[in-house]
Amino acid sequence: MKDLKHLIYFEHLLDDADNELVKQAQAEGQRAIGYTCYHMPEVLLNLPGCFSVRLRAPRTGSIDISTYYMSNYTCEFARSLLERAIEGGYQFLDGWAGVDACSAMNRCQEHVEMLKCNSKESFFVTFCDIPYKVVDYTVEHEAIQFRKCLLDKLRDVYGIDTSDEALREAVRLHNEVCRILTEIGNMRKLDNPPVTGYEFHILNLISYCCPKALIVDKLRETLEEIRQRQVDDKPWFRARVELIGGEVDDPSLTRLIEDAGAMVVADRYCYGSTPGREEIVLNDMEDVLTQICRHYMQHSECARWMADEKVRQRRDTADRLAKEYGAEGIIYEQIKFCDFWAFERPLASHILADEYGWPVLSIDRPYTARSSGQLRTRFQAFVEALEIKRIQKDRRN
C-alpha cells in the first residue's frame, strides 16, 4: 500500500512529549496539563484555555536515577516517566492531573512534586480519588473529587472556564476525534484492511498526545485518504491478533508484532482505542460532570476494578472485540512489575484460552520492547502456531 501522507509527520510528533503542536498551543496561550491514566477524563483537561497531554517517555534509556528513588521492583512505566521528569522532559507542563489508582504512579507524581522537577511557579500536581465500584454514590463521589481537586484548581490557578457549556464543548471536540478514529479502526475488520495496526496505533496515540484542535484536521484528511486507499491484491500479514493488557504507549511494540507477520486488528489496552475512543453521549437533564464521570467509569477496562462485574467485563470485551475484528488469537501483555496487570494477566490468559477458546500468548515485557529478540521470537512462534491451527481447521472442514 502507498504510505500515508502524514505518517512521518505523525511519527515525529511522538518523538517528544513536548512536540511542535504542544509548543504551538502554548505559544497561543493554552495551558498544557499532563496525565497518564484513563481514570482521569481527558475531556476535563481540554476546556477552553488548556489541553491534555497523555504522558509518555519516548526514547527511554537508563532509568537508574528513578530506580534509586522508587526501587527496581516498581513499574518501569512509572520509573521511566520519573526519569524523564528529573531530566527536565516535562518542564513544559503547567500541571499534572493524577488519580489515586496506581501506587507506583502515585509515587512517581509525588517525586515530581517533591523534587521540583518543574520550576514553573504556577505548576501543580493534583490527585483525585477513584472508587472501586460503579454505583450511583461512587459516581457522585467521583464527580465531587474532579470538581474540587481538578476543575476548581484549573479555575483558581489559570482562570479556566469550567462551566457546563465549556464541558459540553470539550465533549463535542472529543466526540469528533472519536468518530474519526472509530471509523478508521473499524476498517481493520475487513479481510484486507486499508490500514495497518501500526498506522492505527500512531493515529490513536497522537490524538492523546497532541492538542486535539490542532490535530483534528489532519486526522480527518487521513480518514479520507484511507477510505480511498488501494490495498495490495494479497494481504501482507499471515495472522490476525488482538493486543490487550496494560500500557502500550510505544508503537514499536505493535511494529514488532507486525514484523513477525501478525496484524494487530483490535486493541484493548491502556493508551489504546478501547477504552478511550468511545463517544460521550450527554443528556440535558443531568449534571454534565456527573455524566462524564459515569461514562468513564462504565467504559473503563482497568484491572484496578476488582468487582466481579468488572472482571467479567474485561474478559467479555476481549472476547467480543476478537470476534468482531476477526482475530485468530490474543496477545495479552503487561509491563514488568505492574501490580494490577500482573495479578490480572496470568489468570485471565488461562480463562480466555480454556473458557472462551482463544489461542493466547501471555507476556510480561520491559517498558521499551522494540529491540527485544526474545519477544520477536515468541511473536514469530505464535504466528506459526496460528497458521498451523488454521491449516488443521481447513483440513477438518
- Residue 22 belongs to what domain range? 9-158
Rounded Cα distance between 388 and 395, Å, is 11
Rounded Cα distance between 390 and 395, Å, is 9
Rounded Cα distance between 313 and 307, Å, is 10
CATH number of the domain encompassing residue 15:
3.40.50.11890
Q: pLDDT (tens digit, 9 = 90+) per residue, 106-115?
A: 999 999 999 9
- Residue that is written with C-alpha cell 497531554 in the block: 53
Contacts for 23 with CB less than 8 Å, ≥ 6 apart: 92
Asked if 26 and 32 touch (Cβ cutoff 8 Å), the reply is yes
Q: What is the mean pLDDT of residues 247-272?
A: 96
Look at residue 179 in the predicted model and tell me its pLDDT.
Answer: 98
- Residue that is written with C-alpha cell 515525529 in the block: 12
Q: pLDDT (tens digit, 9 = 90+) per residue, 343-353?
A: 999 999 999 99
Is residue 371 very low, low, confident or very high in pLDDT (cuts 50, 70, 90)?
Answer: low
CA distances for 18 relative to 221, 252, 330, angstroms = 24, 19, 34
Q: Is residue 204 part of a domain?
A: no
Q: What is the mean pLDDT of residues 27-49?
A: 97
Q: Is residue 87 part of a domain?
A: yes
Q: pLDDT (tens digit, 9 = 90+) per residue, 88-103?
A: 999 999 999 999 888 9
Is residue 66 very low, low, confident or very high in pLDDT (cuts 50, 70, 90)?
Answer: very high
Rounded Cα distance between 211 and 21, Å, is 7
Look at residue 101 in the predicted model and tell me its pLDDT.
Answer: 86
Q: Is residue 220 part of a domain?
A: no
If DSSP codes are grouped into helix, strand and coil, which group holds residue 51? strand
Look at residue 392 in the predicted model and tell me its pLDDT.
Answer: 86
Q: Is residue 132 part of a domain?
A: yes
Q: Rounded to 10 degrees, what is the CA torsion of 29, 165, 140, 152?
A: 30
Q: pLDDT (tens digit, 9 = 90+) per residue, 280-289?
A: 999 999 999 9
pLDDT exceeds cutoff 80 at 79: yes
**Sheet bearing 239-245, strands edge to edge:** 262-269, 239-245, 329-335, 360-365
Q: Is residue 351 part of a domain?
A: no
**Closest by CA position to 90, among listed 20, 19, 24, 18:** 18
Q: Is residue 194 part of a domain?
A: no
**Closest by CA position to 66, among listed 107, 17, 119:** 107
- Residue that is written with C-alpha cell 467479555 in the block: 316
Q: Is residue 29 part of a domain?
A: yes
Q: Is residue 64 part of a domain?
A: yes
pLDDT exceeds cutoff 80 at 370: no
Asked if 124 and 154 touch (Cβ cutoff 8 Å), the reply is no
Is residue 396 very low, low, confident or very high in pLDDT (cuts 50, 70, 90)?
Answer: confident
Average per-residue pLDDT for the chain? 95
- What's the predicted TM-score (pTM) here? 0.96
Cis peptide before 275 (omega within 30 of 0): yes
Q: Is 73 exposed, middle or buried (0-12, 13-18, 19+ CB in 10 A)?
A: exposed
Rounded Cα distance between 267 and 247, Å, is 11
Contacts for 250 with CB less than 8 Å, ≥ 6 apart: 56, 58, 367, 368, 369, 370
Share of the chain above pLDDT 90, in %: 91
Beta strands in the chain (DSSP E): 31-35, 50-54, 95-100, 124-129, 239-245, 262-269, 329-335, 360-365
Per the model's pLDDT, the better-predicted residue between 166 and 339 turns out to be: 166
The total number of structural domains in the chain stands at 1
**Closest by CA position to 261, among listed 341, 209, 197, 205:** 197
